[in-house]
Amino acid sequence: MKRQRIVVGLSGGVDSAVTAWLLKQQGHEVVGVFMKNWEDDDDSEYCSSNIDFVDAAAVADVIGIEIEHVNFAAQYKDRVFAEFLREYQAGRTPNPDILCNAEIKFKAFLDHAMRVGADKIATGHYARVRQNPASGLFELLKGLDPTKDQSYFLHRLNQDQLARTLFPVGELHKTEVRRIAAEIALPNAKKKDSTGICFIGERPFREFLNRYIAGEPGPIKDERGRVLGQHVGLSFYTIGQRQGLGIGGVREKGAQRGGGDHAPWFVARKDIDKNILWVVQGHDHPWLQYRQLHAADASWVSGSAPEPGALAAKARYRQSDAACQLELPASEGAGQTFGLRFAQAQWAVTPGQSAVLYDGEVRLGGGVIDAAQLMSG
């Protein structure tokens, strides 16, 4: 690859640090940019952007590159956080990291990099880009490390974005990234991976959401209609949730103390109109097993929907790829919505989350789940 000017998003973490080092080793002119995306309560114990910037600056110093601090907080609030709140208020469970990648990292950041004369941008995501020699189209592939693959979160990227993006660590396993960081004595070589949503960090989620959304308490009921407790507002729960329900085992009348079924409870349904949270006992309960879903707001890497037929999909990040049939509506505007019919039951399919399609290693695109049908439905 000829020498290029590449702007790397330096987050303060080890993946983006090794990304910058690898590109410099390849002879490119590398510039670091630290993105500040969140300003509310930035000095709290949970929000680490100041520490992260210090780490990113220390990395830039060791590698020998310039670093720029860029504030995208206004764009983030408008494009990502406002949508996040809208979805929660509607009773859905959005994935803000997908929106952040589409709107901030590969739009606001990409635009900024191009303005400062970049040929390409690079980030520390575990994914790969290649240009298909036959079609000339850019393809997004899974990262080589199956435990770290992040192509699910990048499913809204388009041809223009992929043509100008590099993911160097997508070709490596995480253990190798850590080894390189230690070998070249990066100051953040042992820094733990960040978890949690980009703007929430490690803070308690319900407490955070409570500042922006008023909860309306209501009953928690089981499938027989028994009231088991009170919820604090439907927005604060998601399908498949097990923790934080505040209900224990239920004893039948006349059952001995200590008797009863102690299988864990899971959120199964949210009745927005009646403000009821429905829960069921046991991970394998029929109310948690889905065979079909419908998704809207679709985005396809190639620019158009793939042919209907046999593919694989993820309906949530931590699940394995599942065999499915892609169904497209025959109506005008086809490709904006799609249906998936799964060969085997999918657990706790959740409106607001993303259904992402794969053909082997190649990530084709996806959409936001807006409805799902149970196996028994």
Closest Cα to residue 267, out of 96, 98, 93, 95?
Answer: 93
Q: What pLDDT was estimated at residue 1? A: 72
Q: What pLDDT was estimated at residue 259? A: 43
- Catalytic sites, residue numbers: 100, 198
Q: What pLDDT was estimated at residue 87? A: 94
Q: What pLDDT was estimated at residue 191? A: 85
In order, the DSSP letters of 78-95 are IIIIHHHHHHHHTT----
What whole-number distance in Å separates Cα of residue 255 and Cα of residue 35? 59
What whole-number distance in Å separates Cα of residue 347 and Cα of residue 319? 9
Closest Cα to residue 241, out of 300, 316, 191?
Answer: 316
Are the CB atoms for 59 and 10 separated by under 8 Å?
A: yes
Query: What are φ and ψ of residue 62, in 5° steps?
Result: -65, -45
Question: Quick one: which H or E segment has residue 174?
Answer: helix 174-183
Question: What's the mean pLDDT in 184-202?
Answer: 76
Q: Which domains does the chain have, with CATH numbers?
A: 5-205 (3.40.50.620), 214-283 (2.30.30.280), 287-374 (2.40.30.10)
User: 73-84, pLDDT tens digit by residue?
Assistant: 999 999 999 999
What whole-number distance in Å separates Cα of residue 48 and Cα of residue 202? 9
Amino acid at 369: I
Structure tokens at 338: 């799609």
Question: Quick one: which H or E segment has residue 55?
Answer: helix 49-63
SS3 72: coil
Q: What pLDDT was estimated at residue 215? A: 87
Are the CB atoms for 82 and 212 separated by under 8 Å?
A: no
Q: What pLDDT was estimated at residue 251? A: 54
SS3 230: strand
What whole-number distance in Å separates Cα of residue 48 and Cα of residue 53? 9
Which of 170 and 44 is assigned the larger pLDDT?
170
Give percent of the chain with pLDDT exceeding 90: 77
User: 254-302, pLDDT tens digit by residue?
Assistant: 444 444 467 899 999 999 999 999 999 999 999 999 999 999 999 999 9
Closest Cα to residue 70, out of 15, 28, 108?
Answer: 108
Question: Tokens 């070249």 appear where?
Answer: 184
pLDDT at 9 over 60: yes
159 — pLDDT class (breaks 50, 70, 90): very high
Q: What pLDDT was estimated at residue 49? A: 75
User: 220-258, pLDDT tens digit by residue?
Assistant: 999 999 999 999 999 999 999 998 898 866 655 544 444
User: What is the overall mean pLDDT for the chain?
Assistant: 91
Angle of helix 174-183 versus helix 14-25 axis, rounded to 10: 70
Q: What pLDDT was estimated at residue 41? A: 61
Structure tokens at 51: 């520490």
Question: Quick one: which H or E segment has residue 362?
Answer: strand 362-374
Instruction: Average the pLDDT over each of 202-206, 320-324, 365-369 and give the range with the smallest value.
Output: 202-206
Question: What's the mean pLDDT in 38-67?
Answer: 82
Question: Tokens 């694989």 appear where?
Answer: 312
